[in-house]
Structure 1
C-alpha cells in the first residue's frame, strides 16, 4: 500500500489499482478526491468535508462512507452510494478493510457543542482519527497524527502517540502550523513520542 499526503488532513491510499481517500476538505487540493474509488469522511467540519468536491467525486463513480451528519447533506442525490457508519462498524470497500473507531470531536471549548467524529483504521495498519485523539482498541502500524489544531496542544499530541503506540507517526492536520514551528514539533514529538516520527509534504508518498 502507498500513502500520499495531501494538504492538511487529507491522505490518499493506493493498493492493487484501487484508491481510498480520507477527508478531502476545503484546506486540501481541489483535486484531492479525483480518481478515488472510496472516500472516508471523519466529520462535518469544512477542513475535512467540502460538499462540492465530494459531489464531483461521487459523480465520477466514488462511494462514500461517513457519519450521518455528512451523509444527510448529499445522500438524496446519490442513492446507494453514501454509506453511514459509526463506532464499531467494519466494512470492505474496493479491497480495503476498514474499522471505525470513535464517536465525538475533541473539545474545542466547553461552550461549543461537540460534533460527531469517527476515525478509520485501514487494513489493520493506517489509522486516521479525524479531529479527536481516539485510541483504537487494535494495534496501529502507521498513525496519522493531528499535530496542530484549535483543540490540541503539543503535550497532548505527544501523549497521544504514546497511548496509541504506533510504529510510525505521520503528521496531518498541519495547514495552520507555521514553518517556523515545525522543527520544534518534529523535535519534541520525535524525542518524546516513542515512535518513528515522519513529516511528508503535500504530494509526497511513503510505502507502507
Structure 2
C-alpha cells in the first residue's frame, strides 16, 4: 500500500490499483487532481479544510462511477438522495476495491464551548495499516500500524497529541494537519512528540507530493 501526502489533512492511499483520497479540502492546492485519480473520497467531517463541497459536487457530476463516504452533514451537502454518497458512522465497514475500511469515532474535538462540535469520523484502512482520525484524538479499538497525527489547528494541543500517540501505540506516525505551523514550529513539534520526546515514536514529516510505502 502507498500513501501520498497532500497539503494539510489530505492524503491519497493506493493499493492494487484501488485509489482513495481522504479529506480533500480547500487548503489543499492539488485536491482537484487527487480527486480525479481516485475511485472514492472519504470525508471525516464538513469543515472546509477537509471537505471542498464544490469540488466534490463537480466531480460527482463529471464521474458517475465516483463514490463518496462521509458524515450525515457531508451527505446532506452533496445530496443525500444520490446513491453514490454514503453516510457512515462508527462501526460501519465497507470495501473500496482492494481496500477494506472501518469507521471509528463520532465527534470533532472541542475548540471552545461556544463553537458547536460537528460529527467527525476516522477511517482505518486495510486491517489497521493506516488510520486517519480527522479532527479528533479518538483511539480506535484496533491495532494501528501507521497513524496520521494532526499537529496544528484551533483544537489541537501537544500534550493531548502526545497522550494520543501513547494510547494508539502505532508503529509509525506521519504528521498531517500541519499547515498552520511554520517550518520551525513543525520541527519543534516533531522534537517534542517524536522518538526523543514524549512518545518514543519517530514522527515523519512529508512534503506535499511525497509518496511512501506502508
TM-score range, shorter chain: over 0.9
Structure 1 residue 57, shift from structure 2 partner: 2.8
Select 1:40's aligned residue among 35, 39, 42: 42
Matched, 1:53 2:55: yes
The answer for unaligned runs of 5 or more in structure 2 is none
| 1:42/1:119 contact within 8 Å kept | yes
TM-score, length basis structure 2: 0.93
Aligned to 1:84: 87
Structure 1 residue 27, shift from structure 2 partner: 0.4
Distance 1:2 1:188 in 2: 27
What does 1:1-208 align with in structure 2 at a 5 Å threshold? 1-29=1-29, 30-31=31-32, 32-58=34-60, 59-60=62-63, 61-76=65-80, 79-124=82-127, 125-190=129-194, 191=196, 192-208=198-214
Structure 1 residue 7, shift from structure 2 partner: 0.5
Structural RMSD (CA): 1.2
The answer for unaligned runs of 5 or more in structure 1 is none
- In structure 2, the residue corresponding to 1:47 is in which secondary structure? coil
Structure 1 residue 196, shift from structure 2 partner: 2.8
Structure 1 residue 82, shift from structure 2 partner: 0.4
Aligned length: 207
Distance 2:164 2:153 in 1: 14
Distance 1:12 1:57 in 2: 16
| 2:178/2:186 contact within 8 Å kept | no
| 2:18/2:96 contact within 8 Å kept | no
Decide which moves more: 157-166 or 188-197: 188-197
